[in-house]
Homo-oligomer: A and B are copies of this chain.
Amino acid sequence: MKKITFAALLLLSFFGFSQSGSELWLSYTKIENSDHRTQLAAAINAIVLASDSERSQLAAQELQQALESLLDKKIPILQQAQPIPGSIFLNIKSNDTALGKDGFIILRKEGKQRIEAFNDLGLLYGVFAFARELQEIGAAPFEKREIPKVRYRMLNHWDNANGTVERGYAGASLWKWFELPYRLDPRYEQYARANAAIGINAVSLNNVNASSRFLTAEYLEKIKALADLFRPYGIQVFISVNFRSPRTLGGLTTSDPLDPDVRQWWKEKTAEIHRYIPDFGGFLVKANSEGEPGPQDYGRTHAEGANMLAAALENYPGIVIWRAFVYKADPNGDRFKEAYEQFKPLDGQFDEKVIVQVKNGPIDFMPREPFHPMFGAFKKTALAVEFQITQEYLGHSTHWVYLAPMFKECLDADTYATGKGATVGKVIDGSVYPTPISLMAGVANTGSDANFTGHPMAQSNWYAFGRLAWDHTLSAAQLAKEWTAISLSQKKEVIQKISSLMLNSHATYVNYTYPLGLHHMMGEGHHFGPQPWLDKSQRPDWTSTYYHRAAASGIGFDRTGKMSNALALYAPEVQNTWKDPQQCDLNYLLWFHHLPWDYPLSTGRMLWEELMHRYYQGVEEVEQMRLAWAQLEEEIEEETFNNVAARLQIQKREALWWRDSGYLYFKTFSNMPLPEGLTPPTRSLEEVKALEKIYHLR
């Protein structure tokens, strides 16, 4: 076996940040500032490990690898109970139970650097935090004590058994089912390390549009191989289940959750799963949603369905994650209200092993949504928030959109459930209403591409999601800086420039796609590019016109008391911020109001003018991003630089497509000219329509 030696790997890292991006935020690029580096190297002589568990060893080795790369110095690991001068002391502090399973302390005491935890997983998290700060600030980190706010920090993979990824834009699935259980792709471990480094401790492996295949013995053996590999990194595995499995796999005539045979089947299946995976995380379920089977097929409620699975798990620590993404087709209804209305009567009926997973907004991962009205409204049900890291509606893998500002907009939104300050983040972490379970989920943006995420900058969204799941009070700006410093450049001014581009990118995307609170106007099915003219579909709420309601009279969805009154689902304080179109944040205006084209806005422009200005501004901002990035050519590793530069060209082209579609289509209703100073498109409405049609061609 010809081993590539560790020294050889080090030679690679010498040349700077990872070329392919395959190391994610773990490239541990040598500290360029030689003063900092030599000072640190002189100060650190050993890693002293006072624990002998497998995971503690892993933590020590991770620290060793990080220091060796960062400081260009081989640091020995000593296994002993006491620190020595110049050592970093990794210690299990068995009396500090408040740290829990995941918490850690980094501190200097009596001139010795210590990383301490109650549990060896906390030690691993502490090591990653230590290495991260070392890179970010170029010096040993400040003292800190960290305990995650949320118990389950989770990625949901929408990966299919056939290797495709639903709404995945970075190649095929990471999971090579046909190679498992025997072959473990080396990328699995890189994935696990990267997750552990940001605190992610739970993953569901398969699409919520679930195949029963994953519950067969054949596939449980494969899943076990992944669970075994992930375990040292503190990651628990979940399975998305198809509610009809008792019929398709068990040969039963029903999947009624109250049927004794069905309940017994799930009990036995759950026991079988635990024979493969003793620390199995639990089930994730999309039921009675978009054609998926569920308890309502048998006249039962979501609570009855979820509780049946909870009963199957009663002798195990695992949980049931039940998605609230449900909506029936009603041309006269408002999809905005569906999940709330279906679930509200069930508040208090769910087993304590059940958590209801709610998307951040009431529709479906639109680039900007008001926070979901369920948050704050459920006092007796644990609610999880589900974000989408993969950019289904946010430019797939060709648009640079840093999502942390969007995540934060939701997490920091005040529900006023218990008065001022009852933010969504606090609802989720159980500090508004105490809950036995807390969970934050993100739909993964990972795939088989060498850099895992397709767009190099999309790595930052995975990163920021994980860090926010750990601590939702972190700021989008801090996370942008952090990620850039460990992924792209050590130069302060470069970090500043890039994180500033990141922070503006979401607002820019919204400007050229869905300004002023427009939503759901993407190409049907493929969700690529604009199709605001879509007025016929299998379901009324899959069209665009259902949402924007453009007419000669104006544009927008009236959700005040005059029409759907979805606003009434929110606390009065929230209603007050949105109900008056004169006061409403312009970013949410057309989410709640149908207004005439000439409606005067606080900006001094009428609605039509403001809409057009924002479209044009979005495109202009992309051009500015492109120019700003071009300035960084000397600063960024070549392949990454070129990759982002090329994608910005595509983004520009597609931003123009959105802008021109918006203008050409909406002016057929407004009959108004483009405001002065804006140059009309050189193409026709038919031409932009034809571009979208391409994606329906067989």
Contact = CB atoms under 8 A, between A and B. Distances in A.
Interface of A: 1-5, 8, 11-12, 15-17, 19, 163-164, 169, 171-172, 178-179, 182-184, 186, 211-213, 216, 218-219, 242, 248-249, 396-398, 447-450, 528, 633-634, 636-639, 641-643, 646-647, 649-650, 691, 694-695, 697-698
A405 B458 CA distance: 45
Contacts of A163: 171-172
Contacts of A242: 698
Contact of A211 (B2, B179, B636, B698): B698
A634 to B, nearest CB: 6
A182 B647 contact: yes
Contacts of A695: 213
Contact of A448 (B16, B169, B219, B449): B449
Contacts of A643: 183
Nearest to A215: B697
Contacts of A447: 172
A396 B218 contact: no
Contacts of A216: 694, 697
A298 to B, nearest CB: 19
Given A636-B2, A698-B248, A179 B448 contact: no
A219 B179 contact: no
A21 B637 CA distance: 23
Contacts of A646: 179, 182-184
Contacts of A178: 169, 396-398, 528, 650
A248 B693 CA distance: 10
Contact of A4 (B4, B19, B398): B19
B19 A15 contact: no
A398 B171 contact: no
A182 B626 CA distance: 13
Contacts of A186: 639
Given A2-B637, A12-B12, A178-B528, 14 more contacts: A1-B633, A1-B634, A1-B636, A3-B638, A163-B171, A169-B178, A171-B171, A179-B646, A179-B647, A182-B646, A182-B650, A212-B698, A213-B694, A242-B698
B172 A172 contact: yes
Contacts of A213: 694-695, 697
A186 B22 CA distance: 14
Q: Is the interface of A mostly helix, strand, loop or mixed?
A: loop
A650 B176 CA distance: 13
Contacts of A164: 164
Contacts of A698: 211-212, 242, 248
A12 B12 CA distance: 8
Contact of A650 (B2, B179, B638): B179
A171 B218 contact: no
Given A172-B171, A218-B691, A219-B694, A8 B2 contact: no
Contacts of A248: 697-698
How many identical chains are in the complex? 2
By Cβ-Cβ distance, the 4 closest A-B pairs, closest first, are A183-B646, A172-B172, A182-B649, A182-B646
Nearest to A647: B183
A19 B9 CA distance: 12
Chain B CB within 10 A, most for which of A172, A216, A647, A691: A172
Contacts of A450: 450
A9 to B, nearest CB: 10
A638 B3 CA distance: 6
12 contacts: A1-B638, A2-B17, A2-B636, A2-B637, A5-B15, A171-B171, A171-B448, A178-B398, A179-B646, A179-B650, A248-B697, A249-B697
Contact of A641 (B1, B5, B182): B1
A634 B1 CA distance: 4
A291 to B, nearest CB: 11
Nearest to A691: B218
Given A1-B633, A2-B637, A15-B8, A218 B694 contact: yes
Nearest to A218: B694
A698 B206 CA distance: 12
B448 A650 contact: no
A182 to B, nearest CB: 4
Nearest to A526: B162
A184 B647 CA distance: 10
Contacts of A397: 178-179
A383 to B, nearest CB: 29
A528 B177 CA distance: 13
Nearest to A16: B2
A634 B3 CA distance: 10
Contacts of A184: 646
B449 A650 contact: no
A2 B491 CA distance: 14
Contacts of A3: 638
A17 B2 CA distance: 9
A603 to B, nearest CB: 34
Contact of A183 (B183, B633, B650): B650
Nearest to A528: B178
A458 to B, nearest CB: 13
A641 B183 CA distance: 11
B638 A448 contact: no
A528 B213 CA distance: 15
A24 to B, nearest CB: 16
Contacts of A11: 8, 11
Contacts of A633: 1
Contacts of A19: 4
A682 to B, nearest CB: 15
A398 B182 CA distance: 11
- Which residue among A164, A219, A242, A646 has the maximum number of chain B CB atoms within 10 Å of its CB? A646
Contacts of A639: 186
A220 to B, nearest CB: 11
A523 to B, nearest CB: 13
A641 B528 CA distance: 42
Nearest to A698: B211
